[in-house]
Amino acid sequence: MELRVERNSDVDSWKEVVLIYNSALKQISVKLEILNDEFQHVHRYNPIEHIKSRIKTSESIVKKLKRYGYESTIENMVKYVNDIAGIRVICSFTSDIYEIAEMIRGQSDIRVIAVKDYIVKPKPSGYRSYHMLVTVPVYLSDRIVDTKVEIQIRTVAMDFWASLEHKIHYKFEGNAPDYIKEELIECARMSSELDERMLSLNKEVHSIGEKKRA
């Protein structure tokens, strides 16, 4: 069950909606921190470098609704905008991404609604990341609200590229010159190659360590 907001319902103000989304972000952040700590305890390794979270601004949500052709109401915000609450998980290696995704799927109170793997199939711009749309129950004093959260899992290299691409997108209002777009695509290719080489190097280091212990 998704978070439902209707006129004259209990959840009838934007501030309360933000409270609910913030609560959902806190829950998932704590879950990820616990899983990371457990991974360190069992495997002596932390797959998660750091976690970022944010609530989309009302201005950004209104712009998105306009693009979708919907009226700017709280009900439509909650129903049609899936990334109001977003959490970004940054890790070292591409293998960590899928490990973290499996750990999230294994949580009994998190329901995965949709997955978009932009690592296997990058966007034309070169963007790579792993997206999960999930719901998590937020326990209020008088009810339980299943709340949507978008989780983005990416490597440090992917995050660096995405950050630069985001700045360029806003600098040129989504209409950057072709030569800049082409350079970004080339940088994405180099970033992907770096991820592959770093993963291969990490595997080699682990292999040497295991041979020494044998």
Q: Measure the CA angle with vertex 150, ends 9 and 202; round to 5°.
A: 160
Q: What is the mean pLDDT of residues 154-170?
A: 94
pLDDT 10s digits, 69-87: 999 888 899 899 999 999 9
| CATH fit for domain 14-155, picks 3.40.50.970, 3.30.460.10, 3.10.20.740, 3.30.2130.10 | 3.30.460.10
Active site residues: 150
Residue 49, both tokens: 């470098």
Rounded to two decimals, what is the model's pTM?
A: 0.89
pLDDT 10s digits, 30-47: 999 999 999 889 888 889
CA 155 to each of CA 54, 94, 198: distance values in angstroms, whole numbers, following the listed order: 18, 6, 11
> What residue spans define the domains of the chain?
14-155
The answer on pLDDT for 138 being more than 50 is yes
The mean of the pLDDT values for the chain is 90
Q: At 49, phi and psi to the nearest 5?
A: -80, -55
Q: What is the mean pLDDT of residues 139-150?
A: 93
Strand order in the sheet with 111-117: 48-55, 85-91, 144-155, 130-139, 111-117
